Amino acid sequence: VLSITADILQIVRKAKQPISKKEIATASGLSVSAAADHVERLMDANLLVHAAIGGSSGGRKPRLYAFNKDAGHLISIDMDTASAQVAITNFDCSILAQNSCSFDIYDGPDKVLNHIKEVIFELLTQNRLDRSAIKGIGFGIPGPVEFASGLPISPTLMPGWDQYPIRKFWSEHFHCPCYIDNDVNIMALGEYAKGLVLEVDNMMIIKVGVGIGAGIICDGKLYRGSNGSAGDLGHFDVGRDVTCWCGNRGCLEAVAGGKAVVTQAKELALSGKGDYLLDMINKKGTLDMADIAVGIQRRDAVSIELNRESSSLIGRVVASIVNFLNPELILVSGAFSEFEDTLLAAIRQAVYKRSLPLSTRNLLINKSALGNKAGLIGAAYMTLEQLIINSINDQEDANLATG
């Protein structure tokens, strides 16, 4: 029953204008009286409001319902290993105010979280909002998360954060629930909730940064798997003789992830095969992904070849996933647009070459529509989804107590 109520709310939320109980019934396949019960439940939970009376020619005009996007504010945090973006959103996951901060993840969770907290407090003050206005916090981190407990589990890019009680930290400053997931899952939710390609219920987003991950939306729901690690495509075996940080050999991430590409670039430069890259090492003492992106811009042959090679490996893995999952939409998000273009082309090429005709019949492959806002919007959407489930639950308990 709960999930039907949540589905009804989604129908109203996605409708472009206020809708009547009859329209809700039609869209959900329920009888009008059954739909009315769910609508009442959502009204009691303050998630729906009455809108203006609907116009109809003659007779009684139907009452219209709208999603109550002003039922409260949410805090949304999208963190990577060197910075975090934070935002205040309404219940419609629209960003009302936004800021960012930089830090070193090696400083450990206490210092980093306190730093992010200060930026949030500042944002609230600037927007004349009290902490009590915040109904939920959504937090995306660059590592695996056990969703039920909100604990990071052995996040290789985040030393010192293993099983760190992030929820407990926020509960000491805010009286609202906090939900934590990995950075690519919240991106998937953001694109699903507010991306440019709407009405897509089966999609995936592939993020290639230092590591490689995917977020999967299946039948309109984020697919987390049984523990929260679904979509971790970085450890597909691509049959190369390279050891991955996970201990296995041949992992995709160990060959084609950002970190791996930088390592290969250094090796090539130092063995005299890349003048531009060697130049950068000499100037900066090191090399990073941004240098390779610039190399691609300047038509440096070694940078272009490294990018082409890694993209084509990722494309091959994605092609297999397309056969397996049959999504309608694949979105690609890279650390730099220079990587994204090649990656998009390689994925398209591999998918159309290797995937079965039925699995590509309706398939769209595009760049991420929301770019660096996808995570922020998605963290808010994740929070909203969980709050909806909670408030309908509470309502249900209250009804049981009084009934």
In the bound complex, what is the minimum distance in angstroms from residue 210's beta carbon to Zn ion?
A: 13
Alpha helix stretches (DSSP H) within 333-373: 337-354, 357-360
235 binds Zn ion (CB under 5 A): yes
- If the CB atoms of residues 84 and 208 are measured against Zn ion, the closer one turns out to be 208
CA-to-CA separations, 250 to 149, 226, 242, 324, in angstroms, rounded: 31, 25, 5, 21
Stretches 38-46, 137-145, 235-243, 264-272: which one binds Zn ion (CB under 5 A)?
A: 235-243
3-class secondary structure per residue, 137-164: EEEEECCCEECCCCEECCCCCCCCCCCC
The Cα 181–Cα 79 span in angstroms is: 11
- If the CB atoms of residues 232 and 338 are measured against Zn ion, the closer one turns out to be 232
Site for Zn ion (CB under 5 A): which residue of 251, 256, 265, 296?
Answer: 251
129 binds Zn ion (CB under 5 A): no
Q: What are phi and psi of 210, to 5 degrees?
A: -60, -45
Given CA atoms 122, 391, 14, 366 in this order, what sign does their dihedral have? positive
Please name which of 225, 229, 190, 185 lies closest in space to residue 207, comparing C-alpha atoms: 185
Q: Per CB under 5 A, which of residues 197..216 are in contact with Zn ion?
A: none
Site for Zn ion (CB under 5 A): which residue of 12, 24, 137, 244?
Answer: 244
Quote the tokens at residue 256: 């084609």
Contact 138, 74 (CB under 8 A): yes
- Tell me the per-residue interface mask from 5 to 44 with Zn ion, x by CB under 5 A, - otherwise: ----------------------------------------
Stretches 247-255, 261-269, 341-349, 382-390: which one binds Zn ion (CB under 5 A)?
A: 247-255
CA-to-CA separations, 109 to 62, 161, 376, in angstroms, rounded: 53, 6, 20
The Cα 362–Cα 319 span in angstroms is: 15
The Cα 260–Cα 253 span in angstroms is: 7
280 binds Zn ion (CB under 5 A): no
Site for Zn ion (CB under 5 A): which residue of 246, 268, 281, 304?
Answer: 246
- If the CB atoms of residues 178 and 184 are measured against Zn ion, the closer one turns out to be 184
- If the CB atoms of residues 69 and 235 are measured against Zn ion, the closer one turns out to be 235
259 binds Zn ion (CB under 5 A): no
- If the CB atoms of residues 167 and 235 are measured against Zn ion, the closer one turns out to be 235
- If the CB atoms of residues 10 and 156 are measured against Zn ion, the closer one turns out to be 156
242 binds Zn ion (CB under 5 A): no
Which positions lie near Zn ion, rule CB under 5 A?
235, 244, 246, 248, 251
